Chains A and B, each alone.
Chain A
Amino acid sequence: MSMTSQIISHAASKASALAALAQSGAASEPTAPTFWMPTGASTIAGGVDHTLDVINWICYVFFALILVLMVYFVVKYRHRKGERFRTDFPHHNTPLEVTWSIIPTIIVIGIFVVGFRSYLDIYTAPKNAFDIKVTAQKWAWNFQYPNGATSDDLYVPAGRPVRLILRSSDVLHSLYIPDFRVKRDIVPGRYTYAWFQCDYPSGQPGKSPRDPNAKKVEGPEDPAQVYNLHCTEYCGTGHSKMNRYVYVLDEASFSQWMIDQSQWLDKIPEEELFFKAGPKIFARCQQCHSLDGTKGIGPSWQGIVERVKAYPNVGEGKKYGTWEDYVRTSILVPGDYVVPTYGNVMPSFKGQLNDKAIDAVIGYMEHLSDFDPKTGKYLKADAAK
């Protein structure tokens, strides 16, 4: 029994240390990946990992105890053929049964308390958190920043609590950043919240958060430090393709990024919009729309301009005036026009693609022959430079 009381006091002391750690919000280095857990890069990750350690050790002890006793008894009391059955066994032993009911009860209460305290930190966002709006839809993410910038990946400032305001356009999704130990379901029709704080900004060359000893992770922007962001509530065909990166930038870089991101479309001259911005935006559309005629979840864009212009409803009783109107409405209110044999499954991009972005898409469609039908990349890239 003394071993058990040692475990309890060990757990209790760890619990209070953990609580102190969680509440201090101390800046932390990402922890290295362990046998069980990935790197821990947020301020609450330490608390969660610690809770897991407490539970794990209790489990190891009890499992070993049960396994050893089981094997020992089976070997020691093995029945040999012809022997009489033993009759000197106890039928029950009330003090023992009471003890082994009470001790696990105390242990699980301890586990509950440890878990509860670290949970409160996960649940409650600090007051000075930086808000980022997140829209989840089948099958992509869109992150909207206070200055109007939107992004497909999540960029966050280091050293500040970040609160995500989550909403879904269609079905249940769930935002999960394993390295931050953050997860929250996204329920259509309401807002849910999640928060985290990561103190370890990018720009530290040669260090990968996934394994400090491994080589750099190649991301789309190729920074040194990326974390994965997943959808973890089943949402259909593209559920496993909703993976994006989280980039943690120091304050100065982050402010600059926000400004650049909000203006990236504005800075591009009109006539270059379609090849400088088009492919980037098309990367989202590519999930459902192909360029080479392959039927996907949505109609292929091959020959789209001619098709739209030739629709029977253009003319008397037409619902859209120009083919650009059709594209614009399809992006903002997709349910209004659904091509026969396709389902009404396209999400709305209102708030995610502004007018210039839509112009870029329209220009992209107009100049489709300039782009590789398989990859969507601009074929005249060298000339454009």
Chain B
Amino acid sequence: MTTIPLPSSGPVRDTIEARPEGDNYLTHTRGLFSWIFTLDHKRIGVMYMWSVLGAFLLGGIFALLVRTELLTPGPTITEDANTYNQWFTLHGAIMVFLVIIPSIPAALGNIILPVMLGAKDVAFPRLNLFSYYLWVTGAILCIASLAMGGFDTGWTFYTPYSTTTTAGGVIPVLTAAFVLGFSSIFTGLNFVVTVHKLRPPGMTWFRMPLFLWALYATAIIQVLATPVLGITLLLLIVERTVNIGIFNPAMGGDPVLYQHFFWFYSHPAVYIMILPAMGIISEIIAVNSHRSIFGYRFIAFSSIAIAMFSFIVWGHHMFTSGQSALLNTLFSAISFSVAIPSAVKVFNWIATLYKGSVSLTTPMWYALAFLFLFTIGGLTGLHLATLSTDVHLHDTYFVVAHFHYVMMGSALIAMIGGLHHWWPKIFGRMYDERLGTIACWIIFIGFNVTFFTQFILGAKGMPRRYYDYQPEFQVYHVISTIGSYTMAFGFVLTAVSLFGSFFTGRKAPANPWGGRSLEWQCASPPPFDNFAKAPRVGDCYDFSVVHWDEKTGGYWVDESADPEVNPGAGGAKAAH
């Protein structure tokens, strides 16, 4: 009920002034050990960020190798089909387990969630650090598996091929995935407890920004689904080492049982990838349209609904596996139900643009790219959920294109958009807007050239995981490869833009975009303890009280005008 009186002149917040100049979480303590043993969620998130980006580079290199090989039917850069098989397997395994699943929750989520929530840290900081070191262990085991003979099973490790192949790196990579699973579980556990228990007074569930809802729903999936992956991988390792026979038909086992176990996790896993991305898009679109998100409650509820539904549709990966028509029918019908909340989210985001005040910053370009690419990715999911068309399209390049549209074109694009959106906050520097926007466009164009062609390839009957192919498909592959190089160039430009900010970027103001959520109420970069005094929780999507400040080159929030913070104020908010 009491309000901190603001200084009558100037908009600068006293909390920001309370810190000595240049003292933030990056500089508060120095030295290698202060990073290795840090318990600060922001530092842990930064370490995750560099690690995940490094893994992305590695996985991307394998992707370029694959695409280069596919320039011609027959051998192009390798004579050996086995080498090619290892390339696509590694590309998939690294991207799925080391990059996309941890990327938004562990990297961006760790840095932003507590600050956005108004908390001082996550609930279990030591567990957080332990999660990071589990990730590092998994990455090391993955590299070790390369040295021990590699593996060529495909990232899905289908039996009986994965239990009988003589490649020496299978068990290490299975162990790596097992360890990475626990990294994911503990991150999810941490986030669930943080959102439940560490909300400051005033931060009710429906005051939370949508990114937090998204991270929360993701965390639920991480906690509930990943253990099933753990036991599946454990059973695979045991099957390979001592041959228990549970997946071996010669010993009474069932290879399709493995597929059920695997997809029971891996389908919810793709929602682990996309839900946080949707959360980021909600934030970017709201902030850059300077208006409240349309249909906040629906978007919040739909995140939970998607999380719940994701557990009951795994069979749509197995329509041709020989399971009964009844099972196929059930899974197909339920899969359509998952499409609806996602579609309505897209409508909500488009409606958020309506009568907004749209600023086309680099994050906003990424958000618009997301809308375009996620629409295509989601719509092509309809083709795959439909039984008869899936018979034709399953295990072809159509599926490859579909999941790249949703995993890369949506989740990864959203992550990079989020990186740009919060980069000033995290590192205190502004990147070059123009270069960032150009890079976004190049990635967007390259992406579509690469993967839209693959829809056509797949529909025309080109199977997946092929080293060699019919000559009539070559023209499509050449186009796709050209697109992939374009995309790679776009990513290089993005890296130049972001890393260049460390050298030539101007110092970032506390609130460069005019956001209302709590992370914008502290300095850029944040102080080591996030907030000196408890931030006041207002309506995080009320931008009517946000004003541009030419002096700092950023925005400031006039909370005295926000009736949620200062009940005496009339407020400039439009009535509901």
Contact = CB atoms under 8 A, between A and B. Distances in A.
The answer on A and B forming one complex is yes
Contact of A181 (B360, B380, B392, B460): B392
B255 interface: yes
Contact of A70 (B336, B368, B396, B460): B368
Among B161, B455, B572, residue most surrounded by chain A Cβ atoms (within 10 Å): B161
Contacts of A93: 294-295
A115 B388 contact: yes
Nearest to B81: A237
A66 B357 CA distance: 19
A70 B350 CA distance: 6
B395 A174 contact: yes
B325 interface: yes
A116 B332 contact: yes
B50 to A, nearest CB: 33
A171 B386 contact: no
A77 B336 contact: no
A89 B295 CA distance: 12
B353 interface: yes
Given A36-B456, A63-B379, A237-B81, A183 B161 contact: no
Interface stretch (B53-61, B264-272, B284-292): B284-292
B290 A228 contact: no
Given A97-B295, A104-B340, A189-B255, A183 B165 contact: no
B531 interface: no
Interface string A267-298: 00000000000000000000000000000000
Contacts of A108: 336-337, 339-340, 382
Interface stretch (B29-37, B106-114, B416-424, B468-476): B468-476
Contact of A236 (B161, B290, B348): B161
Interface in A27-73: 33, 35-38, 44, 47-48, 51-52, 55, 58-59, 62-63, 66-67, 69-70, 73
A308 interface: no
Nearest to B541: A91
A92 interface: yes
Contacts of A235: 161
Interface stretch (A197-205, A238-246, A311-319, A365-373): A238-246
Contacts of B359: 79
A240 B469 contact: yes
B574 interface: yes
Interface string A96-124: 11001100110011011011101111111
Contacts of A121: 388
Contacts of B291: 85-87, 89
B391 A116 contact: no
Nearest to A56: B383
Given A236-B165, A237-B82, A185 B391 contact: no
A144 interface: no
A48 B81 CA distance: 33
A68 to B, nearest CB: 10
Interface string B321-336: 1100100110011001
Contacts of B340: 101, 104-105, 108
B392 to A, nearest CB: 5
A340 interface: no
Please name the 7 residue pairs, one residue from A and one from B, whose CB atoms are nearest each other, closest first. Answer: A189-B249, A178-B461, A115-B386, A119-B387, A73-B353, A79-B357, A89-B355
Given A91-B292, A210-B472, A240-B467, 5 more contacts: A52-B392, A66-B350, A77-B289, A86-B291, A187-B249
17 contacts: A63-B376, A66-B375, A67-B372, A92-B296, A108-B337, A116-B329, A178-B392, A183-B395, A187-B255, A189-B255, A190-B249, A192-B322, A230-B463, A233-B395, A234-B161, A234-B464, A240-B465
